[in-house]
Amino acid sequence: MAEERVRITEEQQPTMTAAGAAPPQGQTTAQEHPTTNSTTATVDHRKLTLIPLIFLIYFEVAGGPYGEEPAVQATGPLFAILGFLIFPFIWSIPEALITAELSTALPGNGGFVIWADRAFGPFWGSVMGTLKFLSGVINVAAFPALCIDYLKKIFPIFSSGLPRYLAILPHRWISTGQKGVEKDWTLFFNTLFWNLNFWDNVSTMAGEVDNPQKTFPVALFSAVIFTCLSYIIPLLAVTGAVSVDQNDWETGFMADAAEMISGKWLKFWVEVGAVLSSIGLFEAQLSSCAYQLLGMANLGFLPKFFAHRSKWFNTPWVGILLSTVMALAVSYMNFTDIVSSANFLYSLGMLLEFASFLWLRRKFPTMKRPYRVPMKLPALVIMCLIPSGFLVYIMSIATKVVYLVSGLMAVAGIGFYFLMKVCKSKRWLEFSNGDSEEDF
């Protein structure tokens, strides 16, 4: 069935709906490219243009250098600098390339859920949705904790004024860590991964983007550049300018470093930036989670009421409410466990996403792709294998708490698919007539 749906995609791309299904025979569609419509009709539905989309992606991923400090605490300045220089090439860029190709080929709210559904069928589409949604809401819970870590350092604020002497010493960049401090590679890799992932989250809002076939690639590649610079420049400046105990490089240290460099006035503004960044990260991630639920409802994976939009703001209020409640439910966990759990579930989802990307390329090579990664299948396999190896490593170094939390959530996600299947067959809940309906 998945093969049949993608064959339709190849032959009738202009008349696709957001869910990827062709309209019934004899029926036409008013749109030239697929978008996801909610159950509530709206007259004025404004779309995301290039500049807002760039910054939305930026806040989906980074939002500034806040949160990168534990990488220095774990392994010292040299490995942290190398990590933020090298990791984007083996992880961020491949993920952005895949997102650009599949978001333009299958644009619609739901993003990676649509990709897995087209590649392997509704079961794997539902599993993908569960893994990515849970990793998203867990990740949302990290930002209030990150904000609090910075706020605790903000007072007193104005006890000094003029900037102090600033000297950046490059020899500090090559330090491999303080003597006597054991390297924590688990913390190091989890910090890198958490700060440089979630590039594909914006795909869940592809139906809200103006001309996604052209806008997505430019926005993604621009955001990659901004993100890399926003991490590496502050890291080079601070590691070169201050010399402190390695254990002081905990979350929130950028504010302390600002005080050491230029006084409490700069510390205050770094704190303000951290708070605003946390708010931006929270809002961006929450938006992706909410629109993912909307897309899954339109595809028939979730009950129809998940697709309801606010009549005032045209936003998926049910998804926003559920995502917020679930994020609050896991906020009791400490920051490290939150990050590790989000990484674990996201890793499982990304392995499925890489497989979906490669399978769609192999099985349906002629499917219309407005942006196409300029590689042949063998090179694409290599491009995906390198980050996949890293994903397996990230999962292998997880703690028992993370295994327990992530394992229970993954199993619950599989059970949820069959529960929805029963609800649909018994007509206990109302579902949209998505193209996955008959596969339930």
Residue-wise pLDDT tens digits, 357-413: 999 999 999 999 999 999 999 999 999 999 999 999 989 988 888 898 888 988 999
**pLDDT confidence of residue 271:** 87
Tokens representing 325 are 């409640």
Q: Among 35, 61, 32, which Cα is nearest to 46's?
A: 35
CA geometry: angle 271, 229, 167, nearest 5 deg? 65
Among the residues of 152-208, which ranges form H helices? Answer: 185-195
**pLDDT confidence of residue 183:** 92
Tokens representing 314 are 């045209």
- For residue 125, is it within any domain? yes
- For residue 15, is it within any domain? no
d(CA 8, CA 53): 29
Specify the DSSP element, H or E, that contains 179. Answer: none
Question: Contact at 8 Å (CB) between 293 and 318?
Answer: yes
- For residue 28, is it within any domain? no
- For residue 185, is it within any domain? yes
Question: Contact at 8 Å (CB) between 367 and 105?
Answer: yes
**Which segments of the chain have a pLDDT < 70?**
1-45, 149, 152-168, 335, 434-440
- For residue 38, is it within any domain? no
**pLDDT confidence of residue 32:** 37
- For residue 116, is it within any domain? yes
We report the CATH number of the domain holding residue 213 as 1.20.1740.10
- For residue 36, is it within any domain? no
The boundaries of the domain holding residue 397 are 45-439
Tokens representing 72 are 């220095």
Question: Contact at 8 Å (CB) between 145 and 338?
Answer: yes
**pLDDT confidence of residue 178:** 86
Most distant CA atoms of the chain, gap in Å: 75
Task: Look at the chain and report how many structural domains it folds into.
Answer: 1
Specify the DSSP element, H or E, that contains 138. Answer: helix 122-151
Residue type, position 371, single letter: Y
**pLDDT confidence of residue 434:** 65
- Reported residue count of the chain is 440
**pLDDT confidence of residue 340:** 81
